[in-house]
Amino acid sequence: MFDMSGMEGLVLLFIATVGVLVVGVFGFVVVKGVSQWRANEASPLRSVDALVVSRRTDVRRRSGSTALPGADPGAPTVAGTPATSSTTYFVTFEEPSGERRELQVSGQDFGQLAEGDRGHLMHQGTRFKGFTRQNVVDGPH
């Protein structure tokens, strides 16, 4: 007859290994976030001339409960949790030295910045603090 004690041991070892990996990844993410926060806190508030060189978004979608069979993807869900999405906004600035810095910005700030804008960037480490656009004077009228 087949001895299940060996199989049960392997299953328990597998579950323990997966648990350790999950806890390890979670711990890594927490430590990385705290260290980035501390680095930002220790960074001076910098104010530099900068050019907006690019903008990008990162859209994350989470599907909700299953829709009715045969329904189109994206159709409303039947019951339970609705589908959700979140958008994170990033803008890359270039300083006169040529150094580029991508910073996460709010949706409102993202909407007010365009590629090619020149102005004054304020940031603290990786934290965007503000951007004041230079007044552009059109040619003679």
Q: Is the predicted pLDDT of residue 141 greater than 50, yes or no? A: no
Q: Model's pTM, two decimal places?
A: 0.68
| Choice among 84-93, 101-110, 128-137 with the minimum mean pLDDT | 128-137
Regarding whether 55 and 2 lie in a shared domain, the answer is no
36 CB-side CA count, 13 A: 8
**Do both 1 and 17 map to the same domain?**
yes
Is 92:105 a contact under the CB 8 Å cutoff? Answer: no
* pLDDT tens digits, 43-79: 999 999 999 999 999 999 988 765 555 556 665 555 6
Mean pLDDT for the chain overall: 86
How high is the pLDDT of residue 6?
A: 75
* Residue 35 and residue 90 in one domain: no
CA distances from 5 to 2, 14, 105 (A): 9, 14, 55
The reply to whether 38 and 57 lie within a common domain is: no
Pair 54, 99 in one domain: yes
Q: Which residue range is the domain that position 36 belongs to?
A: 1-42
